[in-house]
Amino acid sequence: MRRQVLHFLLVPDESAARRVRRAIAQSTGRSGILVGPWRELVRHAREAYFRPPVDDWNDSDFETALASDRNAFWSESFAVAPDETADAVKRALASLHSATDPYREPQLPGPERFPGWPRRIVADLLSLPASLGERLPGDLAVIRDLLSADPDSVSQPIRVVRVDGVPQTSRWQDALIDKLNREAGRDGVSHNGELEDTLESLLRAGPQANPESALGVLQAKLFETDKSTIRPDRSVQWVGVRDYQQEAEVAAGMVQTLIKEHPDLELKQIGLLVPEDFQYCVAVEDAFGLAGLALSGLPGERWRRDLGPEAVYHFLCCRQKPASRMALAVCLSSVLMPWSPEEGAVMAQAVMDGNYEPRFPSHASAGANAMLALIRQGDSQPATLARALREFAALLDGGEAFSAHQRRAGDASQRVLDRLEGAREIDWSDLRRAVKPQLIIGGEAPSYNIEGVTVWRELHEPWRTVRHLFVLGFSQGRYPRRMQSAPVFSETNIRAVREGCGIAIDSPSDAQRRARLLFRRQLRAVSDSATFLIPRRLEVGDSQSPSETLVFMQRLVEQSKQGLSLIAETDLSEDLNRIRHLALSTDRSPRPPRNYHCGDLHLKRNLLEINSDAEGKVRPESPTGLELPMVSPLAWLIRRLGAEPLLWSPESADPRVIGNLAHKVFEDLFPPGRELPEQNQVATRARDSLDGAIQQQAPFLRNPQWQFERHYIAEQVVRAAQTWRKVLEQLGAEILGTEQWLQGYWSGIGIHGKADLILGLEGNRLLIVDYKWTRSEGRRNQMELGFDSQASLYREMAETGGPKPPRPGRESSDEEAQLAKEITTAKGIGIVYFTMRDRTCLSDSTLPESPSIPGWFALDNDIAANALAIIRARLEELRQGVVRLNFKNDRTHIEKNAGIKAYAMDLSPLIDLFALPETDADFDPWGAIIQQDRSRGLE
C-alpha cells in the first residue's frame, strides 16, 4: 500500500491557523492538509508514530530532585520558597535544554573559558535530569521520544510546511521537524511548494496599505532603522480617551459612523485589536451590543469562583479559634451546605449581627445539625481536625448544580488531610495554602462568524485581514507586551552562557523582539486605516502612559504644526473635529436628576401598630428605641419595618461591643443581695469576668492581633469597677436588681427595658442606674439641655409598672417579689448615669451622701422635659400616620440644641436622601413643640 503524506502547515497559533485554513480551503489542495500550532503538530506526530504518552515528572518528583542537591545554585532559595523556586528552575531547565543539540550531551568548556555564576547555573541545570531518571520537562520529553522513533513505524508520514521565524522554533523543535520531513521525503512531495507560498504570503505578508500613506509607512518602517517621514493623513490617528470603557464606546460609535459613511463597507472588514484583559472583553461586548454590531472572535472566557476549595478554606478558618464572624457567615452561606441558601443567608446575617451561635430558622435535618456543630467547634489537635474535615466533606451537599464544586471540595480537603498526616501540631496558614482556591476559567469559546466585526487579540496573529482597524488599549506595557525578566536566566547570564559555551538561550529581549514583530504583522493586515485608542486613566482613576511604541511611530509620522500633539484628545474641544469617524451625540440636554423632596409622609394609618405581636398587641418600645422617633421618625419606621441595611463587616472593638462587655462585668461583680466584693479583689474578679464575657460575646478579642485593645479595655474596666465599688460603698446602697427587666406605660404606649442596676438607699429611696461606656461631657450636656429621656423612662416604668412578670409558668423569685415591693413602696426614685470612661456619676438627684463622692455630679434641671415633649409629639404623629422627614442640616441642629449626636440619621442613606432642604441656621423645628408641650403642662 502506498503511504500518503500528510501536510502539516505550522503556524504560530490558532488564529493564524484559522486564516490559513480558509485560504487553503479556497484554493489549492484541500485534503490531507492540517494547519495548526506546534502543540498540534506534536500530537499528530505522536499518533503517526504510534508513540504512547510520555511519562512527565510531577511536581513532587521535581521538588525531591531539587532538594537532593544541597549545593546547587537554587538550594538556599528552595529552602525559603520551594514553589517559586521549583517553578523558576523548571522553566530555566526547559529553556536551557531547548537551546542545546538534542542528539548530543552538551559539554561545558573549561572554567577558564566559562567561569563564575553562569557556569554554575548551567552545570547545576545540566546535572538535574540525572536525578530525575533522565526525564525532561513536558515538551522536551515528547520530542526526545519522537526523535528516537523508528522511521518505519510511521503509519502516515507528516511533511511540515513552515515559514522561517514564524513561529520561532527551538533547536529541538527544528530537529523534530527535520526528522519528520526526512521521513516523509521518502514518499515524495505532492504540493510543489504551493503550500509554502500560501503560508509565506499569509504569515509574512508585506504592507497592505498604500505605501504613500501614513499607515503604509508605519507598516513598512515601524521599528526599522531606515526611515521615511510622513505627515499624518486619513489613514492613521491616535485618539486619547479617558479609560478602557470609553475606548470601547468610542470605537463602537466610530464603527457606526464608518458604516454610515461607506455603505459598501462590510462589518467584517473592520477590525478591533483588543488587549488580553477580560475588562476589555466586557466593555467591548457591552458597547458593541448597545450599537447592535455583531462581533466575531471576541474571547468569551468567564472566570468562576472556586466554591469547593473556598468552602474548605473557610471551614479551616472556622475551626481555628477564635474564628472571625465573617468566616462563620461565609461558611454558613455557602451553597454547598446541606441547607437552603435562604436559611444560610438568615444564619449568616445573624452571625454578622453579633450572634456567634446561630440557630436554624426552621426545623433542620440531622446532617444540617451535624454540619452546624462542625462549623462551630474548634481544634487544637491535628487528629480532631482531620476527623472533622472528613465529616465536613461528606456532609457537603450542593445538589446537582454544584456537584463539580463539591468534587473539588473533596480534592481540596484531601490535600489538607495529606498535610495533616503525621503532623504534630496544626500549622493553619500552611493548611490554608494547601487548599489553594483559585479562579476557574470557564465560559464559551469565542464566536467566530462571517458577518461580525473582526476581533483580533493582542497576543494572537490576525485571523483575517481588515480594511479599518481600531487598536484598543494602546497604553504602557502593551503593543508589545512588556516581558518579565527571568530570575535564573537574566539577560546578562544569557549573554555569558552564549559567549561561554555557545548555548543560545532564548532571552526576554528575543521575546520582546518577536512581540514587536507580531504587532507589526497585525498592523500589516490592515489596508485602509488604523486608529489607536489611548486610555489615559485606569479603572480606578489613576493615570497611565501611552504605549512605548508611540515614540517609534512619532518618528515616522510627524505633526506639521509645532506644539500639536500626535494624539487627539476627546476631552479637548479643538481636537474633537480632527478626530475622524468620531460619533457625536445629537441629544445634548442632560436629564435632570430625580427630585427627592417630597414633604412629610402621610401614610394614613396608625404606624405604632405595625409589626404587632401575634395577638395584635402593639409592641412595647424601649427607652433607647424611643430616641429614634425623636431624632428621625423615618429611621424609626425603617427599623420597625425590618428594613435596615444588612451590612457585613469584620469585627472591631467598637464602643458598643466594649460597652456590652463592661456591662457584663458589672453585672457579675455587683449582683443583688450580696456584699460588695473586697476592694482589693475587684481587679482580679473584674478581669476574670471580662475574660468570660469576651469568650462569649466577642471571641475575636482573644486573637493576638487585638492584644492592645484587650489590655486597654481591661484596665479601663477595672478602674471603673474600682471606682464604682467605692461609690456603692459611700452610698451605703443595697443592690436590689441587676439587668432587671422593667415595664410600664408612658404616653399611651407600653415601654419596657432592662435597667442596669437598681439600688436601695436608706429611707426607702431608690436609685436606677444606667452604665455608659462613654465620658460624661456629652451626656451631661444633653441632660442640662433637658434632652435625656432614657433614665427618666426607666423611672416611668418603675412608677407605672414594675418588674416584668416572669414568663407564664414560672414563679417570680424571692428577689423579684422583694424588688416589686420595694418599688411600690419607694419614697422617691432617683436616677444615675455612671460614665465608665471618666468614672463620673451624673444624677438628677443631690443625695446627702454624694458630696464626698469624687465625680458625683447632680443636675438641678428637668433633664428630660424637652426630649419627652418631642417624643410625645412624634408618637402622636405616628399614630396619625404622619412621618416627619429630617431637614438637611438636622445633624448640626440636633447636636447644638439637644447635645445629641444624630446617629439615628445614619441608619439608612434614605434619610439624608429624602431630607427637606436646609433650614435657616436659627430656625428650631423643635421649638414650637416644646413650647406647646410646656403650655399644656401649665394648663
Partner 1 sequence: MNGLPALRVVPAGAGSGKTYTVQQTLGEWILAGKVSPERIVAVTYTEAAAAELRARISAELLENDRVEDALRLSQAYISTIHGFGLRILTEFAFSAGLSPRPRLLSEDEQNALIRQSLARTDSANAIVADLDAYGYHYDPVRKMKPEDLFRERCLKAVELWRTTGLRSQAEGEALTADAFRRLADHYGPTRDADPLRQKLRQRIADLLKRFPASIHRQFGTTRAAREDLIRDHRNLVTALSGPDLETNWKLWQALRAVRVSNQRTQLPDDYDRLAGKVRTAAEELRCHPGPLEDARKHLAALLTTGQHAIGSYQQAKAKAGLVDYTDMIATAEWLLRERPDILERLTEQVDCLVVDEFQDTNPLQFSLLWQLREAGIPTLVVGDLKQAIMGFQGADPRLFAALERNYDRQARPLEQNWRSQARLMDIVNAVGPVLFGDEYHPLEPQRRDSPCDPLELVTFEETSRSQTHKVRAGFVALRLKEHLAGRTRIVDRDTGLERSLRGSDIAVLCRTHSVLAACAKALMECGLRVNYQAEGWLSSRAVQIAWNALAYLANPADRHAALYLGVTELGTLSLEQGLRQLMDNGRVEDPLLRKLDTLSEGVADRTVYALVADTLAAVGLFDEVARWPDGDQARANLLRLLGEAGAFMDSNREALTLSGYHGTGIQTFLAWLSARAEENDEHPPARVIDEDAIVLTTWHSAKGLEWPVVAVCGLDQAIRVRLPDLGLSYESFDDLAAILNRVRIDYWPKYTAQEQNFEAEYLQERTSLVEYRRLLYVALSRARDKLILEWPEYVADRKPNRRTGEATPNVWSILSERCSVDKETSEFDVDGQRFPCTVIEGGLKLPDEFHAEEDARAPALVPIGRRAIARRSAPAKLTPDSVAPSMLEGALDSLPDSLVLRAERYGEGVDAHVGLSGKDLGTYLHQCFEILGARPELVAQLESLTGVEAPAGETERIAAAVAGFEAWLGNAFEVESVQREWPLLCIDPAGSVVSGTADLIVRTAKGAWVLDHKSDRVESAVEAFRGYQAQLEAYRNALVSEGETVLGVGINWIRRGEVTWSLSPGQDG
Asked whether position 582 contacts partner 1 by CB under 8 A, the answer is yes
Asked whether position 156 contacts partner 1 by CB under 8 A, the answer is yes
- Burial of residue 410, with CB atoms counted within 10 A of its CB: 0-12 exposed, 13-18 middle, 19 or more buried: middle
Cα 407 to chain centroid distance, Å, stands at 24
- Least distance from ligand SF4 to the Cβ atom of residue 234, Å: 4
Q: Which stretch binds ligand SF4 (CB under 6 A): 254-262, 410-418, 570-578, 881-889?
A: 254-262
- Burial of 537-548, coded b for 16+ CB within 10 Å and e otherwise, reads eeeeeeeeebbe
Asked whether position 903 contacts partner 1 by CB under 8 A, the answer is no
Alpha helices of 484-593 — where are they, by DSSP H? 491-501, 508-524, 549-556, 573-576
Asked whether position 247 contacts ligand SF4 by CB under 6 A, the answer is no
Q: Contacts with ligand SF4: how many residues (CB under 6 A)?
A: 9
Nearer to partner 1, 107 or 562 (CB): 562
- Cα distance between residue 500 and residue 701, in whole Å: 61
Asked whether position 651 contacts partner 1 by CB under 8 A, the answer is yes
Contact in structure between 537 and 543 (CB atoms under 8 Å) = yes
- Least distance from ligand SF4 to the Cβ atom of residue 128, Å: 57
Binding at 194: pick from partner 1, ligand SF4, none (beta carbon under 5-8 Å per type) = none
For partner 1, which residue of 58, 421, 422, 540 counts as binding (CB under 8 A)? 540
Contact in structure between 556 and 227 (CB atoms under 8 Å) = yes
Asked whether position 234 contacts ligand SF4 by CB under 6 A, the answer is yes
602-to-146, 634, 880 alpha-carbon distances in Å: 85, 12, 8
Interaction residues for partner 1, span 852-881 (CB under 8 A): 852, 854-855, 857
- Cα distance between residue 325 and residue 651, in whole Å: 7
Nearer to partner 1, 349 or 800 (CB): 349
For partner 1, which residue of 261, 342, 418, 918 counts as binding (CB under 8 A)? 342
Binding at 261: pick from ligand SF4, partner 1, none (beta carbon under 5-8 Å per type) = ligand SF4
Asked whether position 529 contacts ligand SF4 by CB under 6 A, the answer is yes
Asked whether position 25 contacts partner 1 by CB under 8 A, the answer is yes
Binding at 743: pick from partner 1, ligand SF4, none (beta carbon under 5-8 Å per type) = none
- Least distance from ligand SF4 to the Cβ atom of residue 450, Å: 22
- Least distance from ligand SF4 to the Cβ atom of residue 527, Å: 10
Asked whether position 70 contacts partner 1 by CB under 8 A, the answer is no
SS3 category, 687: helix
503-to-92, 273, 467, 499, 584 alpha-carbon distances in Å: 13, 36, 43, 8, 58
Asked whether position 918 contacts partner 1 by CB under 8 A, the answer is no
- Cα distance between residue 592 and residue 463, in whole Å: 46
For partner 1, which residue of 445, 598, 614, 938 counts as binding (CB under 8 A)? 598
Q: Which residues sit opposite 270 in a β-bridge? A: 468
- Please report, as a single letter, which amino acid is at residue 134: E
For partner 1, which residue of 103, 117, 903, 923 counts as binding (CB under 8 A)? 117
Interaction residues for ligand SF4, span 461-520 (CB under 6 A): 468
End-to-end CA distance of the chain: 123
For partner 1, which residue of 110, 263, 422, 592 counts as binding (CB under 8 A)? 592
Asked whether position 296 contacts partner 1 by CB under 8 A, the answer is yes
For partner 1, which residue of 290, 373, 383, 817 counts as binding (CB under 8 A)? 290
For ligand SF4, which residue of 191, 415, 419, 580 counts as binding (CB under 6 A)? 580
- Burial of residue 448, with CB atoms counted within 10 A of its CB: 0-12 exposed, 13-18 middle, 19 or more buried: middle
- Across 206-324, the runs of DSSP E, i.e. the strands, are 236-241, 270-274, 295-296, 300-304
Asked whether position 59 contacts partner 1 by CB under 8 A, the answer is no
- Least distance from partner 1 to the Cβ atom of residue 760, Å: 25
- Least distance from ligand SF4 to the Cβ atom of residue 261, Å: 5
For strands 236-241 and 526-535, give the pairing.
parallel
Binding at 580: pick from ligand SF4, partner 1, none (beta carbon under 5-8 Å per type) = ligand SF4
SS3 category, 188: coil
Asked whether position 260 contacts ligand SF4 by CB under 6 A, the answer is no
Contact partners, residue 519, CB within 8 Å, separation at least 6: 479, 480, 549
- Burial of residue 612, with CB atoms counted within 10 A of its CB: 0-12 exposed, 13-18 middle, 19 or more buried: exposed
Asked whether position 548 contacts partner 1 by CB under 8 A, the answer is yes
- Least distance from partner 1 to the Cβ atom of residue 587, Å: 7
Interaction residues for ligand SF4, span 57-76 (CB under 6 A): none
Query: What would the DSSP string read from start to end of 612-627?
Result: --TTSPPPPB-TTTTH
- Cα distance between residue 528 and residue 532, in whole Å: 14
∠ at Cα 607 (601, 609), nearest 5°? 170
For partner 1, which residue of 245, 269, 465, 866 counts as binding (CB under 8 A)? 245
For partner 1, which residue of 418, 539, 688, 762 counts as binding (CB under 8 A)? 539
Nearer to ligand SF4, 368 or 579 (CB): 579
Half-sphere exposure (Cβ direction) of 307: Cα atoms closer than 13 Å? 17
For ligand SF4, which residue of 46, 171, 242, 262 counts as binding (CB under 6 A)? 262
Asked whether position 212 contacts ligand SF4 by CB under 6 A, the answer is no
- Least distance from ligand SF4 to the Cβ atom of residue 577, Å: 14
Nearer to ligand SF4, 234 or 656 (CB): 234
Asked whether position 379 contacts ligand SF4 by CB under 6 A, the answer is no
- Cα distance between residue 233 and residue 556, in whole Å: 12
Asked whether position 562 contacts partner 1 by CB under 8 A, the answer is yes
Asked whether position 876 contacts ligand SF4 by CB under 6 A, the answer is no
- Burial of 314-341, coded b for 16+ CB within 10 Å and e otherwise, reads bbbbbbbebbbbbbbbbbbbbbbbbbee
Asked whether position 647 contacts partner 1 by CB under 8 A, the answer is yes
- Cα distance between residue 435 and residue 453, in whole Å: 42
623-to-19, 70, 720, 756, 877 alpha-carbon distances in Å: 77, 72, 24, 13, 18
| Run of H or E including 740 | strand 734-746
- Packed helices 116-131 and 82-98: angle between N→C axes, nearest 10 degrees: 100
- Cα distance between residue 687 and residue 154, in whole Å: 83
For partner 1, which residue of 492, 624, 696, 824 counts as binding (CB under 8 A)? 492
Nearer to partner 1, 241 or 798 (CB): 241
Site string for partner 1, 809-848 (x = CB under 8 A): ----------------------------------------
| Contacts with ligand SF4, residue ranges (CB under 6 A) | 234, 258, 261-262, 468, 528-529, 580-581
